[in-house]
Structure 1
Amino acid sequence: MRTVASTDPRADRTARARIVDAAFACFTTAGYASASVRQIAAAADVSPALLTHHFGSKAALREECDARVESAISAKLAGERAPLDVVIETFGPYLAATLDDDTDSARRLFARLVALARAAIDDPGSGIRPAEDRDGQAVALVVLGLAPFAWRRRLDEWAEGTDAGIRRIAGPLAEVFTRGFMADARLEDAR
């Protein structure tokens, strides 16, 4: 049975939770292919055997990480408020680091994120104005949502502080999503 819970270290400090937190960190910094079971186990302060006992394999551990991200995004789309720190410190960097992997896991996760975005677009209660190309709109929402994490280093330099850039642009990005960007329709012909 797979649990889908918060990666907030204050919420759950079981061995299983420490393993997942360590996997997020190792997959983000070293990449999925380079992160080893031993490295993840050491970061979680558990034995590789315990990691294998809980998850079976590194691939299953990645699936757990992906499921937690997907669950958090589903909850956010349903109107629940995830702690911003968990998104900024864990999910965003993880997605920015792993979605471009040339793996089936990355392809499946991207497809699931696009499907979640498409479901939100199709939901009349979401407040999202559907575009003519709803699939393209869904992909654009995923890409725009992840862009700050892909550019995290430059944003931190610009704002002169760790995660300060992402926090600083959160409001302006929300305004772009809610109010739009242009004051008129001059870009309509550029499509």
Structure 2
Amino acid sequence: MRLDSELTARARIGTVALELFGSEGVNRVSIRAIAARAGVSPALVVHHFGSKEGLRAACDQYVISLVRGDPDDPVELGDASGLAAMLEEAEPVRRYLARAFLDGTPQAAALFDEVVETTAAWLEQGATEGWVRPTGDARARAALYVTWLLAPLAFGEHLSRVLGVADLHQTDATLRYSRTSLDMLTHGVFTDERLLNAWDAAAAKRRTR
């Protein structure tokens, strides 16, 4: 049986790893650095996670668990207090995702695929329940939705400059740009279908060539 102190140490190591991997990148962070920040020995890090790769995999699983949500304690749509708490908790996660996708590793590709699959199921559930519009290509919708959400992470430096914020990953900044994103997704940008009709016409023209 593991002692509570061991479980606490494991959680502390995971938290530190998530923060350091997000701020510096997995390749630039050593087990020794993680151990020093967590206040434990490098041997204890290896004891709990096996290796740095095992620690990175644990961070990936934690991120995925946040994406999937807790089925026993879901964040209800429209629950401002629950949403705010999730955003506060996810600040290190946003940094971790930004670094992972910019590094472009096979692990990051697998993480992206998992996020897309989870999001596709969530959107399909929303379509069934009536709060998501149906679509003819559910997989493309999920992939583009995830890409939309992750774009601020990849363009963080430029968005920070344009929006006039020091750190795009801070919760206040995230609430600012994500509110605008949700407004665009909920109400749309265009007031008529002229661009959609133009796209359909161009596609039809190519099919007749």
Q: TM-score, normalised by structure 1?
A: 0.81
Note if 1:93 corresponds to 2:89.
Answer: no
Note if 1:174 corresponds to 2:182.
Answer: yes
Structure with a larger share of its residues in helix: 2
Displacement of 1:114: 0.7
Displacement of 1:76: 7.8
CA distance in 1, matches of 2:175, 2:155: 13
CA distance in 1, matches of 2:46, 2:23: 21
CA distance in 2, matches of 1:112, 1:63: 13
Q: Percent identity, please.
A: 34
Note if 1:14 corresponds to 2:8.
Answer: yes
| Alignment correspondent of 1:70 | 64
Note if 1:107 corresponds to 2:109.
Answer: yes
Note if 1:139 corresponds to 2:133.
Answer: no
1:168–1:18: structure 2 CA closer, same or farther, 3 Å change rule?
A: same
Deviation per residue, 1:82-112 (Å, 9 max, x gap) = 521122x211111111024343321211110
| Alignment correspondent of 1:183 | 191
Note if 1:36 corresponds to 2:40.
Answer: no
Count of aligned positions: 178
| Alignment correspondent of 1:159 | 164
1:136–1:40: structure 2 CA closer, same or farther, 3 Å change rule?
A: same
Displacement of 1:126: 6.8
Structure exhibiting the larger radius of gyration computed from Cα positions: 2
CA contact (8 A) 1:120 1:126 kept: no
Q: TM-score, normalised by structure 2?
A: 0.75
